[in-house]
Chain A
Amino acid sequence: MLILGEIHTCLLRNSSPVRKTVVGELLGLMRGEPVPMSERPIAHAVSPDLIRGVDCWLPTGSGARSRGVGTIAAHAVITAGRVLQGSAVTRAVPASSTHRQPWPHYLSRPGVVEMIGKAAATDVADGFAAQSRDPAALDLGGICEWIIDKVQLSPRLDHRAPFTSRRTTTRWVANIIDQPAEATVRFTVEEDISRSIVLHVTEKDIPAAVRFCEDLALHDWVLTTVLRIVDRTDFGSRDGRQVVTSLQPAVDHLMHVWMPGAHVPDSMTPLWRELERRPGFTRQWDATVNRVRDQLSMRTLRAFHGIDLVASGQPQQLGGIGAPP
């Protein structure tokens, strides 16, 4: 068995963070289904699963034909009333038959796609994790966008983003193993906004793995977005007021969101530890946040003492993270 998932992460299109009652309305995507919410240590809410049917080719590494028929479970996640994720997941299992079954067969197992054909699960895993794709193959990203649009188009939002940011897409594959000791993770930043995660987890940890991947995608987006804000701040040629204005979104909207593992079951802690070792998420985060804070402190002090170099016509030389080339 194989778990295939994709997560798109973006800023909730509202000028300020959204309150809990509104989050409940935004995520009430299925009438009659409650929206689980937790407030501690950070506000986090998940919509009920929406189900979509598919019958299409599954991507394979070898190019072998494998047809997938079944359903995808997708939901939206809002963290800190600020960050929105669309997350689509399915379990790919071998089909018991060589042809498509009547539709109720698939609805009796929501979130399962049956693989018809000779392609091995590992072949499908390779194909799914690969960057290039046949446009006719399974497109979980399309379903993530569908979920995100359902939330972003709500009249409960003012549709004004407080700063510009880019959406990241995180594709993930979990291979199911028998021994819990073997749980592993590989996280790859493929290009500007696309990432992939390959996991090995036990079957009972599948729900925890979904949460883990969503948490990883969230933190990767927060880090990417803060780095971009720092990047475009251009410390060397801007005066104190401009720097503060440029860095303000990071302080107002993002820095408090950083809480890796807060809503992830304990069984996934070893995977977070592995990522902390390499690439060292929190090390990079701490360095970036310290840089933002140091810049703000320095600019405040300079303003206080009336020695803003840029304002007085003397651009400074800077290096380090986010410095202009």
Chain B
Amino acid sequence: MTAFAETSAQTRTEREPLSHLSVELGQLSIVDLDPDRLRQLLDRAAVWARAASEVPVAQPRVSTCLLIDDYHRPGPGPAEVLPPLLAIAAEGEPRIDYLVRESGFAPLADLVAARLVAVPAPGTNGSLDPPEATGWVCNGRRSPGSTDSEAMYRTQWSPPEEIGARNHSVFVDVRLRDDESRWSRAFLTAVRHLVRLGLVRDGGKAVIRPRPLPPELPRTWAGLPPVTRLTRGAKPFTAYRTFSLLPARALQVENAARIILSQVSLTPELLGLIEGPATGEGIHIPPQLIDRVGYMLFAE
């Protein structure tokens, strides 16, 4: 038995409550908050959300959320544009448990960027330092001549290559942030998936705590919590798996987000905080993060 302990030498990772599934009903820009457009989007989402929520367990815990992008295309504030959405949410079909604000996830992006581990090309043995973060993430080896002069281009160019491609390469290079240090839609999508999967911590602490709607709607989006709970008694925002309903035009961004998620490395302690309770409930959780993320893509 050890009689001596130092608390600063021990670290703990906070547990988060977990639903079985987190369903994202849609991703709306502020201009989509027009009452007619909103009704149309949510009626369609309701059908798929019901199907997605069929989790094969005795007492399923499913939470739903709706994303509002107040980051890439700013617009009028909540007091002005949210009332129609809240009226639909109050009707309860589809049930909207949480309202998610894209800007609320931008401060977490650095935490995820620090955990990216690039796909090693064959021959990578640890001798050379990994290329420093350039604000881009790709799924393979970039073309060596692609930034050189035209003459170099003609003589030395060789194609970029997806590492681990099945027969033919599909090379994708994803921008994480622009020159003004604004995070890309693809990167914030990956961050949001990780938060919904309960896999982001800062100093061991949970980063997002859903709050109820403030009594009075704020004039600016920054006045609203990153995740607002609209339904009393909603199941936890974080879940073993995520499911997102998306228009087909979002495919490009989601694919980019998947390439980012494929390169996120998390600690065994954190992964265990999800796997432990899942095993306790008799539920199988895929070990690879990417397999915990599901979609339904529809034509608009």
A53 to B130, CA, bound (A): 9
Smallest CB gap from B202: residue in A: A32
Return the CB mask of B56-73 against A: 1 if under 8 Å, else 0: 000000000000000000
Nearest to B201 among chain A residues (CB) is A32
Within 8 A of A (CB), among B4-46: 4, 6, 8-11
B261 (CB) vs chain A CBs: closest residue: A104
A32–B111 touching, CB < 8 Å: yes
Tell me if A31 is interfacial: C-beta within 8 Å of chain B. yes
Is A38's CB under 8 angstroms from B8's CB? yes
A143–B126 touching, CB < 8 Å: yes
Contact with B along A22-58 (1 / 0, CB 8 A): 0000000011111011111000000011011111110
- A164 nearest CB across to chain B (Å): 26
Q: How far is the CB of A245 from chain B (nearest CB, A)?
A: 37
Q: Which of A132-140, A192-200, A217-225 contacts B (4 or more CB under 8 A)?
A: A132-140
Distance (Å) between the CB of A294 and the closest chain B CB? 34
| A136 with B125: CB separation less than 8 A | yes
Known: A34-B204, A108-B271, A108-B289. A55 touches B121 (CB 8 A): yes
Partner among A32, A39, A49, A109 whose Cβ is within 8 Å of the Cβ of B203: A32
Interface size class of A (residues with CB under 8 A): 35 or more
Query: Which of the four size classes fits the interface of chain B?
Result: 35 or more
The verdict on B290 contacting chain A, using a C-beta distance below 8 Å, is yes
- Closest Cβ of chain B to A151, distance in Å, is 14
Which residues of B (90-110) have their CB < 8 Å from a CB of A?
Answer: 110
Q: Which of B114, B122, B125, B202 gathers the greatest number of chain A CB atoms within 10 Å?
A: B125
B127 proximity list for chain A (CB < 8 A): 135, 139, 142
Alpha-carbon distance between A52 and B201 when the two chains are bound, in angstroms:
21
Looking at chain A's contact residues, the main secondary structure is mixed
A-B pair count, CB < 8 Å, reads 119
Shortest Cβ distance from residue B237 to the other chain A in the assembled complex, whole angstroms: 19
Q: Chain B contacts of A137 at CB under 8 A?
A: 125
Chain B neighbourhood of A102, CB < 8 A: 164, 262, 288
Contact B267 A110, beta carbon cutoff 8 Å: yes
Determine whether the beta carbon of B117 is less than 8 Å from that of A107: yes
Whether A78 is near chain B, meaning CB under 8 Å from some CB there, is no
CA gap between A39 and B261 in the complex, in Å: 38
Contact in complex: A54, B120 (CB < 8 Å): yes
Q: B residues within 8 A CB of A107?
A: 117, 262-266, 288-289
- In the docked arrangement, what's the CA distance between A36 and B115, Å? 19
Shortest Cβ distance from residue A98 to the other chain B in the assembled complex, whole angstroms: 14
What A residues does B9 contact at CB under 8 A?
A: 36-38
Closest A residue to B268 by beta carbon equals A110
Looking across the interface, which residue of chain B has its beta carbon closest to that of A69?
A: B120
In the complex, A36 Cα to B121 Cα: how many Å?
A: 33
Chain A residue at minimal CB-CB distance from B262: A104
Q: How far is the CA of A37 from the CA of B263 in the complex (A)?
A: 29
The answer to whether A55 and B263 have CB atoms under 8 Å apart is: no
Closest beta carbon of chain A to B285's beta carbon, Å: 11
Q: Mark A60-97, 1 if CB is under 8 A from B, else 0.
A: 00000000010110000000000000001000000000
A148: min CB distance to chain B, Å? 12
Residues on the A chain within 8 Å of B128, using CB = 142
Q: Does B89 contact A (CB under 8 A)?
A: no
Beta-carbon nearest neighbor of A6 in chain B? B126
Residues of A within 8 A of B (CB): 30-34, 36-40, 48-49, 51-57, 69, 71-72, 88, 100-105, 107-111, 135-143, 146, 149, 266
> Can you report 20 A-B residue pairs in the complex whose CB atoms are below 8 A from each other?
A31-B110, A31-B111, A32-B114, A34-B11, A36-B10, A38-B6, A53-B119, A53-B120, A57-B125, A71-B265, A88-B126, A102-B164, A102-B262, A104-B261, A104-B288, A105-B287, A110-B268, A135-B127, A136-B125, A140-B126
Q: Which 8 A-B pairs have the closest CB atoms?
A: A53-B120, A56-B125, A38-B9, A104-B288, A142-B127, A108-B287, A31-B114, A32-B202
